[in-house]
């Protein structure tokens, strides 16, 4: 009898924002996997020590390769060839998709964490079950407390809560109108933009009882998109005439433009101020090329930034990971000739998103051995 084939392993949690992104990709692409929680002995004994930190999601391939971070996980399979490639081949759609991915995975943590933890009493049993399932009963309460403590450094305060909730309602309204026209953000198949948005809109906002109920009642097409993103293949039965392709001619779908204007309004000036923080840090410290971005692998923030959210002053943590997310947009624009680059940037400017592509810097964040490092051009 031949030895059984070792399956692809996904280490994560049902309620994890970033695990949801990776899981949706594997399901959509028809990639078989077995999911394990962080309480699994192998994660504790083998995976976390190899990474140098306890962080999810992580995949372990059948040949033993360990890959952490949703971008690296998705790119691993994209390089090998996927059923539905997630990066548009045309430059404007590619850059725009990466910017939306950034918004979902980074800027929308305000919405995700607010609705999870500010409404803890209304959904405590649901969350307790989720965290026990993922982490084990012995440490579930500790993990929940740590997650709850992150709210202030995300900009979730008494002064911003009402603004965050109105923002989420606008998101639901603009996306619901778009999904009346097409099943995914850029057409008939999901792009990296969809995977960026599904991270908060599934794990927190599409599962936790309070925001999920709001989504179902206010924006049923958005909830249907969440279902679609978590199903195998392209679940587009409600769009029988839509081809499984991105919108032609590198166009921005008109139905998406109100959502894009909303994104620009929601994530600036915070993104501007975080980029200025990193510019000042690099100018002052000038770290060595290849140096880790932080003194400890598990440290995600390098300092605090004073900024504003919808006109209200806030202090937020500055995470260099955002540069890693947006670097693919920078690389795309820099690969174009001047006329094409100008066309792309002008199109982004028309929806207020040109500043989301951090051009003109001689430094970047890269990743080596699953740790973020500084790189200089």
Q: What is the mean pLDDT of residues 102-131?
A: 94
The answer to whether 53 and 298 have CB atoms below 8 angstroms apart is yes
Domain CATH number, residue 51: 3.40.30.10
Q: What is the mean pLDDT of residues 128-143?
A: 78
Confidence (pLDDT) at 2? 39
In tens, the pLDDT along 50-59 reads 888 888 999 9
User: Is the domain of 232 the same as that of 213?
Assistant: yes
Residue 317 lies in a domain: yes
Confidence (pLDDT) at 54? 85
User: Is the domain of 200 the same as that of 310?
Assistant: no
User: Is the domain of 102 the same as that of 116?
Assistant: yes
User: Is the domain of 107 the same as that of 186?
Assistant: yes
Give the H/E segment covering residue 58. strand 58-60
Q: What is the mean pLDDT of residues 202-217?
A: 97
Q: What is the mean pLDDT of residues 259-283?
A: 98
Confidence of residue 3 (pLDDT cuts 50, 70, 90): very low
How many separate helices (H) and strands (E) can be counted in the chain? 16, 8
User: 239, 264, 289: which is the final residue of a domain?
Assistant: 264
Q: Domains in the chain: how many in total?
A: 3
Residue 351 lies in a domain: yes
User: Is the domain of 201 the same as that of 99?
Assistant: yes
User: Is the domain of 253 the same as that of 325?
Assistant: no
Confidence (pLDDT) at 1? 37
User: Is the domain of 164 the same as that of 189?
Assistant: yes
128 has pLDDT over 90:
no
- The answer to which of 138-152, 160-174, 356-370 has the lowest mean pLDDT is 138-152
- The answer to which of 109-113, 132-136, 360-364 has the lowest mean pLDDT is 132-136
User: 264, 281, 310: which is the final residue of a domain?
Assistant: 264
228 has pLDDT over 70:
yes
Range of the domain at 351: 270-376
Residue 57 lies in a domain: yes
Candidates 81, 82, 94; CA nearest to 326 is 94
User: Is the domain of 110 the same as that of 210?
Assistant: yes
In tens, the pLDDT along 18-60 reads 999 999 999 999 999 999 998 899 999 999 998 888 889 999 9
Q: What is the mean pLDDT of residues 181-201?
A: 98
Give the H/E segment covering residue 304. strand 304-309
In tens, the pLDDT along 57-99 reads 999 999 999 999 999 999 999 999 999 999 999 999 999 999 9
Among positive and negative, which fits the CA dihedral 356, 359, 360, 366? positive
User: 80, 101, 123: which is the final residue of a domain?
Assistant: 80
Give the H/E segment covering residue 305. strand 304-309
Confidence (pLDDT) at 286? 92
Residue 122 lies in a domain: yes
User: Is the domain of 155 the same as that of 250?
Assistant: yes
Those residues whose C-beta lies under 8 Å from the C-beta of residue 152, and which sit 6 or more positions away, are: 315
User: Is the domain of 243 the same as that of 341?
Assistant: no
Q: What percent of the chain has pLDDT over 90?
A: 85
Helix, strand or coil, per DSSP, at residue 108: coil
- Taking the CA atoms of residue 133, residue 134, residue 139 and residue 143 in that order, the dihedral angle to the nearest 10 degrees is -130
133 has pLDDT over 50:
yes
157 has pLDDT over 70:
yes
Question: How far apart (Å, rounded) are the C-alpha atoms in residues 283 and 277?
Answer: 10
Beta bridge partners of 9: 34, 60
User: Is the domain of 219 the same as that of 250?
Assistant: yes
Residue 4 lies in a domain: no
214 has pLDDT over 60:
yes
Contacts 24+ apart (CB under 8 A), 298-306: 298/52, 298/53, 298/54, 298/55, 301/153, 302/277, 302/278, 303/277, 304/153, 305/270, 305/273, 305/274, 305/277, 306/273
Confidence (pLDDT) at 5? 65
Confidence of residue 183 (pLDDT cuts 50, 70, 90): very high
Q: What are phi and psi of 188, to 5 degrees?
A: -95, 10
């Amino acid at each position: 009898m031949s030895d059984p084939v070792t399956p692809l392993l996904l280490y994560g949690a049902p309620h994890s924002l970033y695990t949801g992104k990776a899981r949706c990709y594997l399901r959509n692409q028809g990639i078989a996997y077995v999911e394990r929680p962080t309480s699994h002995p192998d994660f504790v004994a083998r995976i976390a020590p190899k990474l140098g930190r306890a962080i999810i999601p992580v995949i372990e391939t059948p040949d033993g390769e360990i890959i952490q971070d949703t971008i690296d996980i998705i790119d691993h399979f994209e390089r090998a060839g996927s059923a539905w490639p997630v990066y548009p081949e045309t430059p404007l759609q590619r850059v725009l998709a990466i910017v939306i991915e950034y918004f979902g995975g980074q800027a929308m943590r305000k919405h995700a964490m607010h609705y999870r933890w500010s409404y803890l009493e209304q959904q405590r049993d649901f969350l307790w079950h989720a965290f026990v399932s993922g982490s084990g009963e012995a440490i579930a309460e500790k993990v929940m407390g740590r997650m709850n403590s992150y709210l202030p450094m995300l900009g979730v305060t008494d002064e911003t809560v009402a603004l965050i909730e109105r923002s989420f309602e606008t998101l639901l309204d603009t996306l619901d109108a778009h999904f009346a026209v097409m099943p995914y953000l850029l057409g008939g198949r999901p792009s990296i933009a969809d995977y960026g948005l599904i991270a908060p809109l599934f794990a927190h906002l599409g599962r936790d009882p309070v925001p999920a109920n709001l989504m179902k009642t206010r924006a049923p097409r958005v909830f249907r998109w969440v279902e679609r993103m978590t199903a195998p293949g392209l679940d587009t039965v409600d769009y029988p005439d839509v081809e499984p392709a991105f919108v032609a001619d590198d166009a921005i779908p008109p139905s998406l433009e109100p959502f894009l204007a909303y994104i620009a309004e929601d994530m600036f000036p915070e993104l501007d101020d975080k980029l200025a923080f990193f510019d000042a840090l690099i100018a002052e410290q000038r770290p060595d090329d290849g140096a880790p971005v932080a003194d400890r692998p598990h440290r995600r923030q390098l300092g605090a930034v004073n900024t504003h959210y919808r006109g209200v002053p806030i202090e937020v943590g500055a995470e260099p990971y955002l540069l890693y997310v947006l670097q693919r947009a920078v690389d795309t624009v820099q690969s174009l000739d001047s006329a094409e680059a100008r066309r792309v940037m002008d199109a982004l400017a028309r929806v207020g998103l040109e500043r989301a592509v951090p051009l003109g810097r001689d430094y970047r964040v890269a990743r080596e051995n699953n740790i973020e490092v500084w790189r200089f051009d």
